[in-house]
C-alpha cells in the first residue's frame, strides 16, 4: 500500500529550510503558536509537518476537514452524564492537544468562521464553551502547523493573520536536488522519526537562553518601520516579528537580537500580512536607507516605485485624455468602415496575453461592500446533503437526527428516567431530539461581461482582459463554480459561452472573441440583468456574480438623444436584482480616480478594481529551496 508521508525523518527531508527554521522557533518559544506552510502539491508540506511532530517528541493531533464544532471545542461528557447525571465538559481536540502539536492540513478549505474561531481560541490560549447547558472554559496551549495548497483557493487574510509565521515553498529546478529527493524517498518510506541530537541540543540551549535575549529599541523600530512600509494591518505583525527574532537570536546563540535575526524574523512573520500590492524586490544595498546591513537577501521596499506612484496621476490623466480622443476618432472610423463592409476592419481578434497569478475577486470584495447574504461557499441548508457542522433542537419533524447531540441532551436525565421507568438503556424523549445543521457549498455563477468595443482594442487592453479572465478562472474558480462569458459591442450583445461547469472551453472561446466598434452600455447591462434573472429563476439556491470588465466609455444610448454614459449610470443605479452581485473591473491602464468605470461601479453598488491590480504578488514570495 502506498506508504506516504505519514511519518518521516526531519533530517531526511531535503530542502524546506525556512519551514524547519520556523518550526525550531516554535519549539524554542511556545508563545509562537502558528505556522503556515504554503506550496504546490507534492512538495513535502504534509510530510514535514508530521516529521516536526514526531521529531520534537510532541503528540500530533489532526483537525479533520469534517470535524464538528462539538468535537473540536468540546461538549458535554456523555459517558459521565449517562452514568451519574453529572454535567461535565469533555474537551475537544483543542483540549486534547494541550501542549502538543495540532496539524491542520489544507487549512484554506475549512469553513472560514469555524477556522477563525479555532485560531482565535489558540491565540488567546483559552477555549470557551457555551453549549448544551454548559458554560465553561479550559486552557489551550497548542502549537499549530497548517498547510495550504497554493493551487486551491487562497486562505482568508483575517485567518492567516492569526498565524505567527508563514513560509512559501516552490518547486526546485535543480536536477541534483530532485535526484536527492527521489533517492531519499524511493525505497524507504518507513523511517524512524528523528530530529538529530545536534539540533535538539541547539533547541534546548536556545530555550534556556531565551529569557536573557534582549531586543534593542533600534531593532524594534526596524521592525515597526518595515511593517508600516509593507502596509501590515494591526500589531500582530510587529509582535510576531519581535518574538520570532528573539527566538532566532537564541537559536543562533546571542543575547542581543541582531539585524540579521530581525530580517529573518520579518521574513517569516510578514509575508502573509503585507499589503497585497506591495512590491517586494531583491535587496539592493544602495537603495536602502534605513536598513544598513549588507546581507539582506530577501526583500525590501522598492523606493522608486513608491515615488513614481505619487507623481503619476496627473501625467497619466493627461495621457488618458489624449488616448480618449484618439479612441473616439478611431471608433468612428471603424463604425464607418463596418457600414461600408470593409473586410480588413470587420473583425479584430486578439490572442490571449500572458496569464498571471490573480487575486480572488470574491474573497477581496468580501471586505468591501458586497452584500453579506451573497457570500460564496457555505450556507445552511435544509436538505440532507452537505457537511454536518452542528446541531439544533428539533422544532419540526425531521429525519435528519443528530444522534450525538440528542444523546447529550438526554444524558443528564438518565438516572432519573431509569428510576421512573425501571428500564435499562438510554431513554430518549421527544424533547431531547436534535437535528443536524448542515452546510453546503452553494453553487455560484460567475458571469464575465466583457466590453469588447473598439476602445479596448486600440489601447491594446484586450489581451490583458483575456489573460485576467483565464487567470482568475484558473486560480480560484476551477470546478467550484459555473462560468459564463458575455460580450458586448455595437454589432452584437450576447453570450459567447452559456453557463457551464467545464471551463475547458473558455480558452478556445476567448481566443475567438472579436473586438471592435462602439459600446452600447445601457443595452448590455439590461441584457445581462435579464439573462441572469432568468438563469436564477431556473437555478434556485444559486448566486451570481457579474464581473463587468470595461473602461466605462458608453457611446450608444438606448434612446436616441440621451447622453449614453449618463443613461447607463441611471439604468445601473435603478437595477434591482436578487442574489446577484456586480463587480467592476476597470480595463483602462492607470485610470484617473473618478474614471467612468468607477462611476459606473458606484451606480451599480459594486466593488471596483483596476485590471492591472488584479495580479497577486504571492508568487514573488516563493523562494526556491536550494
Partner 1 sequence: MDSDRNLFPFVRIVGQEEMKLALLLNVVDPSIGGVLIRGEKGTAKSTTVRSVERILPPVPSSTGCRFHCDPRNVKNLCEECKEKLQKGELETYMRPMRVVELPLNATEDRISGSLDIEQVLATGKRKYEPGVLADANCNLLYVDEVNLLDDHIVDLLLDSAAMGRNNVDREGISFSHRSNFILLGPMNPEEGNLRPQLLDRFWMCVDVKGDINPDVRMEVIKRRLAFDEDPESYCQEYAAESDALREKLETARKSLKDIKISDDLIHQVAIVAIRFGMEGHRSDLAMIRAARANAALEGRNEVEVGDIAATAGMILRHRVKGGTFDQSTFKQEDLLRCLRGL
| Of 72 and 529, CB closest to partner 1 | 72
Residue 213 CA to residue 249 CA, distance in Å, equals 7
| Of 95 and 516, CB closest to partner 1 | 95
| Of 469 and 547, CB closest to partner 1 | 469
Minimum distance from CB of 584 to partner 1 (Å)? 25
Which segments of 481-593 are extended strands (E)?
A: 482-488, 493-500, 514-515, 543-550, 580-586
Residues contacting 546, CB < 8 A, separation 6+:
447, 449, 528, 532, 580, 581, 582, 583
- Nearest residue to 145 (alpha-carbon basis) of 20, 9, 292: 20
CB atoms within 10 A of CB 154: 18
Residue 44 CA to residue 39 CA, distance in Å, equals 9
Minimum distance from CB of 426 to partner 1 (Å)? 5
Q: In the structure, how many helices (H) and strands (E) does the chain have?
A: 24, 23
| Of 109 and 317, CB closest to partner 1 | 109
Minimum distance from CB of 453 to partner 1 (Å)? 25
Minimum distance from CB of 48 to partner 1 (Å)? 12
Residue 405 CA to residue 69 CA, distance in Å, equals 11
| Of 2 and 397, CB closest to partner 1 | 2
Q: What is the largest CA-CA distance in the chain?
A: 97
- Nearest residue to 568 (alpha-carbon basis) of 583, 584, 552, 579: 552
Minimum distance from CB of 324 to partner 1 (Å)? 34
| Of 81 and 569, CB closest to partner 1 | 81
| Of 343 and 383, CB closest to partner 1 | 383
User: How is 297-338 classified by DSSP, letter by letter?
Assistant: -SEEE-HHHHHHHHHHHHHHHHHHHHHHHHHHHHHHHHHHHH
| Of 177 and 280, CB closest to partner 1 | 177
Minimum distance from CB of 189 to partner 1 (Å)? 7
CB atoms within 10 A of CB 491: 17
| Of 402 and 493, CB closest to partner 1 | 402
How far is residue 147 from each of residues 189, 217, 496, 543, measured CA to CA in Å? 21, 34, 38, 30
Minimum distance from CB of 543 to partner 1 (Å)? 15
Minimum distance from CB of 329 to partner 1 (Å)? 37
Minimum distance from CB of 411 to partner 1 (Å)? 8
Minimum distance from CB of 126 to partner 1 (Å)? 20
| Of 260 and 381, CB closest to partner 1 | 381
How far is residue 213 from each of residues 208, 247, 268, measured CA to CA in Å? 10, 8, 19
- Nearest residue to 414 (alpha-carbon basis) of 133, 78, 90, 135: 78
3-class SS letters over 380-439: EECCCCCEEEEEEECCCCCCCECHHHHHHHHHHHHHHHHHHHCCCCCCCCHHHCEEEEEE
| Of 4 and 369, CB closest to partner 1 | 4
Across 396-432, b (16+ Cβ under 10 Å) vs e yields eeeeeebebbbbbbbbbbbeebbeeeeeeeeebeeeb
Minimum distance from CB of 478 to partner 1 (Å)? 6
Amino acid at each position: 500500500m502506498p506508504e506516504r508521508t505519514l511519518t518521516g525523518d526531519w533530517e531526511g527531508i531535503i530542502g524546506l529550510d525556512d519551514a524547519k527554521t520556523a518550526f525550531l522557533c516554535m519549539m524554542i518559544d511556545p508563545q509562537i503558536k502558528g505556522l503556515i506552510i504554503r506550496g504546490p502539491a507534492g512538495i513535502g508540506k504534509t510530510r514535514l509537518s508530521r516529521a516536526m511532530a514526531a521529531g520534537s517528541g510532541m503528540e500530533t493531533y489532526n483537525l479533520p476537514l469534517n470535524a464538528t464544532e462539538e468535537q473540536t471545542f468540546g461538549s458535554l461528557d456523555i459517558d459521565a452524564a449517562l452514568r451519574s447525571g453529572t454535567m461535565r465538559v469533555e474537551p475537544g481536540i483543542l483540549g486534547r492537544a494541550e501542549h502538543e502539536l495540532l496539524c491542520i492540513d489544507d487549512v484554506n478549505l475549512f469553513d472560514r468562521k469555524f477556522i477563525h474561531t479555532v485560531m482565535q481560541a489558540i491565540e488567546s490560549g483559552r477555549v470557551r464553551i457555551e453549549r448544551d447547558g454548559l458554560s465553561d472554559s479550559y486552557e489551550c496551549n497548542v502549537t499549530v502547523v497548517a498547510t495550504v495548497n497554493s493551487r486551491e483557493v487562497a486562505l482568508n487574510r483575517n485567518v492567516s493573520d492569526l498565524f505567527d509565521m508563514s513560509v512559501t515553498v516552490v518547486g526546485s529546478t535543480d536536477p541534483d536536488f530532485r535526484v536527492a529527493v527521489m533517492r531519499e524517498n524511493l525505497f524507504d518510506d518507513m523511517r524512524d522519526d528523528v530530529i538529530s541530537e545536534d539540533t535538539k541540543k541547539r533547541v534546548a540551549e536556545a530555550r534556556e537562553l531565551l529569557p536573557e535575549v534582549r531586543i534593542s529599541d533600534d531593532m524594534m523600530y526596524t521592525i515597526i518601520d518595515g511593517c508600516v512600509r509593507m502596509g501590515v494591518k494591526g500589531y500582530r505583525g510587529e509582535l510576531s516579528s519581535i518574538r520570532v527574532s528573539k527566538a532566532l537570536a537564541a537559536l543562533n546563540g546571542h543575547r542581543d537580537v541582531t539585524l540579521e535575526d530581525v530580517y529573518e524574523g520579518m521574513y517569516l512573520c510578514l509575508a502573509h500580512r503585507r499589503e497585497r500590492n506591495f512590491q517586494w524586490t531583491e535587496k539592493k544595498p544602495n537603495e536602502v536607507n534605513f536598513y544598513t546591513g549588507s546581507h539582506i537577501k530577501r526583500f525590501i521596499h522598492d523606493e522608486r516605485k513608491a515615488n513614481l506612484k505619487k507623481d503619476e496621476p496627473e501625467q497619466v490623466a493627461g495621457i488618458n485624455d489624449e488616448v480618449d480622443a484618439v479612441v473616439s476618432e478611431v471608433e468612428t472610423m471603424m463604425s464607418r468602415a463596418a457600414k461600408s463592409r470593409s473586410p480588413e476592419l470587420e473583425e479584430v481578434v486578439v490572442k490571449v496575453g500572458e496569464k498571471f497569478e490573480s487575486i480572488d475577486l470574491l474573497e477581496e470584495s468580501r471586505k468591501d461592500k458586497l452584500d453579506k447574504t451573497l457570500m460564496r461557499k457555505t450556507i445552511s441548508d435544509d436538505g440532507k446533503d452537505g457537511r454536518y457542522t452542528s446541531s439544533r433542537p428539533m422544532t419540526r419533524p425531521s429525519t435528519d437526527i443528530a444522534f450525538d447531540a440528542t444523546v447529550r441532551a438526554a444524558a443528564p436525565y438518565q438516572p432519573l428516567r431509569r428510576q421512573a421507568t425501571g428500564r435499562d438503556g438510554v431513554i430518549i424523549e421527544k424533547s431531547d431530539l436534535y437535528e443536524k445543521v448542515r452546510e453546503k457549498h452553494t453553487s455560484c455563477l460567475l458571469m464575465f461581461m466583457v466590453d469588447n468595443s473598439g476602445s479596448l482594442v486600440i489601447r491594446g487592453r484586450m489581451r490583458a482582459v483575456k489573460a485576467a479572465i483565464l487567470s482568475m478562472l484558473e486560480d480560484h474558480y476551477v470546478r467550484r463554480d459555473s462560468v459564463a462569458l458575455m460580450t458586448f459591442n455595437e454589432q452584437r450583445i450576447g453570450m459567447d459561452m452559456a453557463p457551464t461547469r467545464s471551463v475547458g472551453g473558455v480558452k478556445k472561446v476567448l481566443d475567438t472573441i472579436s473586438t471592435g466598434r462602439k459600446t452600447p452600455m445601457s443595452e448590455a447591462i439590461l441584457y445581462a440583468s435579464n439573462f441572469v434573472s432568468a438563469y436564477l429563476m431556473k437555478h434556485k439556491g444559486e448566486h451570481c456574480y457579474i464581473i463587468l470588465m470595461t473602461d466605462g466609455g458608453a457611446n450608444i444610448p438606448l434612446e436616441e438623444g440621451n447622453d449614453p454614459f449618463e443613461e447607463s449610470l441611471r439604468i445601473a443605479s435603478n437595477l434591482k436584482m436578487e442574489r446577484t452581485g456586480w463587480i467592476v473591473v476597470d480595463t483602462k491602464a492607470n485610470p484617473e480616480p473618478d474614471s467612468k468605470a468607477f462611476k459606473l461601479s458606484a451606480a451599480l453598488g459594486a466593488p471596483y478594481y483596476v485590471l492591472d491590480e488584479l495580479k497577486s504578488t504571492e508568487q514573488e514570495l516563493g523562494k526556491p529551496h536550494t
